[in-house]
Structure 1
């Protein structure tokens, strides 16, 4: 497994076009792996093993980082040419950094405390009337979005760390060391194959970012989350959780 970081050059028009389109970014990420055939974005694929995951961290208008977790080492030359700094890369720097993720994953231990970041698509099933089919709907406020993560923590192999009593406020959900931020609504057209032609549908998603601290309760389950993702919308930048040492 590999973890790759690439800084997007937001001053370049092609960089801004990639950032504005989850479909373009997905295609650019998947094109980093010569052995993968082009395909339309979807959550289908190998659900039982590692997959290609990606996430955009918008730290500031000038600092947008693309993170990719993948079973194979990627080649991001095309991204450097499109949305990086080609002249700097020509002087000897690749323009991206790739790390051995497998050794890190292998050292996760039960009881370990880590800072985490996760961008996800928190949704729930609702029914407008008794005889109607259920429909996936996005959670709209931070309390329900946090509840979505709390419902999945046990199966995902971690537990959100709680705040000390003196740091808590009165509102429900404030007892955990986690912040829900950077809510982004995605609404774009998607061309789908239909027989010999194609049809265009609409994709509407809400992505949110969780920053917080967790305790490892099941290292193997957490490794699955870190390599397979959590939740839906993985083709559009959702599902990737990363860990960093807790200070």
Structure 2
């Protein structure tokens, strides 16, 4: 497994369509792998995420079984003469995860649930709209995903009137794009709501967490969702 980091040059004209469209970015990421197509089975094994850090940098992270070649992205949206990308072996880090260890984490996800508005209506997948429900979505997935989000110390919660868990949700993005049905050829407008979670977790099941880190969490993985990364907890 590989973890790749690429810094996007937002001043480049070629960067703008990528940053505004999850479909275009998905196609660009898939083009980094020889023989891969956006619609094939490999798409489900390649995770990507866009991050914006405190220095106003925009970073693309990719987790994949194969080592990517991002030459086309450097030419389109990078610094061709001064900077490329960094790819790291991920297996050593994954194998080192142990139960009880604590980490800071970041995850961009598509928090959804199935609702039925009338008894006769089929279930429909709908995005959670409020931060409280979006946090609740992640909390319901944590056990199966191999981690436990840490609770906020009672004293700090009382002084700051904070949340029960060390978890924040931010940067909600709403997109709409066309998707063609394979059977009918019809093109439907598909809504996509994404949010970014930051928090602290404890590893409860290293095997399950390794699966989460390499296969993703939740829906819409092709569109920049599901990739969780860990960092040393401060």
Q: How does 1:128-147 map to 2 (within 5 A)?
A: 128-147=117-136
**Inter-partner Cα distance in structure 2 for 1:4 and 1:46:** 17
The residue aligned with 1:10 is 10
2:146 aligned with 1:157: yes
Q: How many residues align?
A: 234
User: Who is 2:27 aligned against?
Assistant: 27
In the alignment, what sits opposite 1:209?
196
Q: Deviations 1:134-179 (Å, cap 9, x if unpaired)?
A: 1011000011001101101110100000111111159998111111
Helix, strand or coil at the partner of 2:45: coil
TM-score after normalising by structure 2:
0.94
Query: 1:225 is matched with which residue: 208, 212, 215?
Result: 212
Counterparts of residues 27-46 of structure 1 (less than 5 Å): 27-36=27-36, 38-40=37-39, 45=41
CA distance in 1, matches of 2:105, 2:209: 12
Shift of 1:204: 0.4
CA root-mean-square deviation: 2.2
Aligned with 1:13: secondary structure? coil
Deviations 1:24-48, CA, capped at 9 Å, x for gaps? 1001101111132x233xxx8379x
The answer for the alignment partner of 1:64 in structure 2 is 58
Report if the CA contact (8 A) 1:10-1:61 is conserved: no
Q: Which residue of the partner structure matches residue 81 of structure 1? A: 75
Partner of 1:92: none
**Aligned with 1:231: secondary structure?**
coil
Within 2, Cα distance between the matches of 1:185 and 1:22? Answer: 11
Deviation at 1:188, TM superposition (A): 1.7
Structure 2 unaligned blocks of 5 or more: none
Structural mapping, 1:48-127, within 5 Å: 51-59=45-53, 62-89=56-83, 95-127=84-116
TM-score by length of 1: 0.89
